[in-house]
Amino acid sequence: MTALAAVPEPRRISGRGLVLAGIALATLGAWLALDAPLSGLVPREGSWRIVRGFFGSALQPALDYEGEVPEGTLPLLASGLAAARRTLVFAVGGMSLALVFGVVLGFLASSSWWAAERRGRSWLGPLVWSSARVLIVGMRSVHELLWAVLFLAACGLNTFGAVVAIAIPYGGTLAKIFSEMLEEAPRDSAKALRELGAGPLQVFLFGQLPRALPDMAAYAFYRFECAVRSSAVLGFFGFPTLGYSIAQAFENLHYAEVWTYLYLLMALVVGIELWSGALRRRFVA
């Protein structure tokens, strides 16, 4: 009988353990540096009234204006619906541009495709995918509200500015996630098409893209929902979306009106959720 080879002893302190402990310590340090006692969450004396007033109206959203409005103003529900429609339109505008950025840049940044398709020009792939990635990082590291502030300063209260402000960071995020999904999708069908003589773009469009498409579509729907929220918040900067109505009602302490607008916003988000769910059931399951 031969002796079994010695099983190596597990190391006492593993690299993984050290990393986890480091993350835990850093998190604790961040909370200490925050200097945020729980008592900070308890409203002060006068604020209680506001909190009670605000949440007290939650179950009684306004159906009509709470205060005086100028002659000829649309009824509350009509103007709320119009703001909701504009919120949706801004989001659709931003998202459709973002999808174009996302698909094109996501494709360019997908290094596996370039690695498989390089034909002698080995510098071309790395050049393209690294420039695409730099561009993507630039686009998504600035928040849409900051882009909106920049566009406000540059072009004033311009609808197209708001749409582009959404499209830039959303396009960057979509591109990053799309490129990861394209990289992680199984490559067998792409390989088979390459081996039956398909060209590089055909391999991508017919072999690789369809494998990632269900995930890409699901993620795009989720981002569309986010775009509706972003579009609403752009109203705080004066764009005529739901955020604008919410900010005005809030300033006038018309909490019941605020709730009307909030419910409209929720209805938009729920509507998108239902729509995407229905599509998923139809195409993915």
Partner 1 sequence: MSLRRTEAAAFRLAAAGVRFDGRAALAGVELEIRPGESLALVGPSGSGKTTLLRLLNAAALPSSGSVEIDGRALNGMPPAALRDLRARIGFVHQDLCLVPNVRVLSNVLAGRLGQQGLAASLRSLLQPPRAEIEEVARVLERVGIGEKLYQRTDSLSGGQRQRVALARALFQEPRALLADEPVSAVDPARARSMVALLAEVSRERGLTLVVSLHDIALAREFFPRLVGLRGGRVVFDRRTGEVTAGELERLYALEGLELADDGAGRSP
Tokens of 128: 């393209």
Taking the complex as a whole, the smallest distance from the CB of residue 190 to partner 1 amounts, in Å, to 8
Tell me: does residue 211 bind partner 1 (CB under 8 A): yes
Q: Is residue 163 within 8 Å of residue 90, measured between CB atoms?
A: yes
Question: Which of these segments, 202-210, 222-230, 239-247, 270-278, binds partner 1 (CB under 8 A)?
Answer: 202-210
| Of residues 275 and 283, the one with the C-beta less far from partner 1 | 283
Tell me: does residue 285 bind partner 1 (CB under 8 A): no
| Of residues 214 and 271, the one with the C-beta less far from partner 1 | 214
| Of residues 44 and 282, the one with the C-beta less far from partner 1 | 282
Name which position in 64, 184, 188, 273 contacts partner 1 (CB under 8 A). Answer: 188
| Of residues 188 and 273, the one with the C-beta less far from partner 1 | 188
Tell me: does residue 210 bind partner 1 (CB under 8 A): yes
Question: Which of these segments, 58-66, 75-83, 210-218, 240-248, binds partner 1 (CB under 8 A)?
Answer: 210-218
Instruction: Please tell me the total number of residues recorded for the chain in this structure.
Output: 285
Tell me: does residue 214 bind partner 1 (CB under 8 A): yes
CA–CA distances in Å: residue 67 to residues 54, 82, 246: 16, 20, 15
Tokens of 141: 């590291």
Helix axes 159-184 and 209-233, enclosed angle (nearest 10): 150
Measuring CA to CA, which residue among 140, 195, 200, 144 is closest to residue 171? 140
Question: Which of these segments, 93-101, 141-149, 199-207, 245-253, binds partner 1 (CB under 8 A)?
Answer: 199-207
Measuring CA to CA, which residue among 179, 173, 176, 171 is closest to residue 209? 179
Burial track 166-191 (b if 16+ CB lie within 10 A, e otherwise): bbbbbbbbbbbbbbbbbbebebeebe
Binding site for partner 1 (CB under 8 A): 119, 188-189, 191-199, 201-202, 205-207, 210-211, 213-214, 284
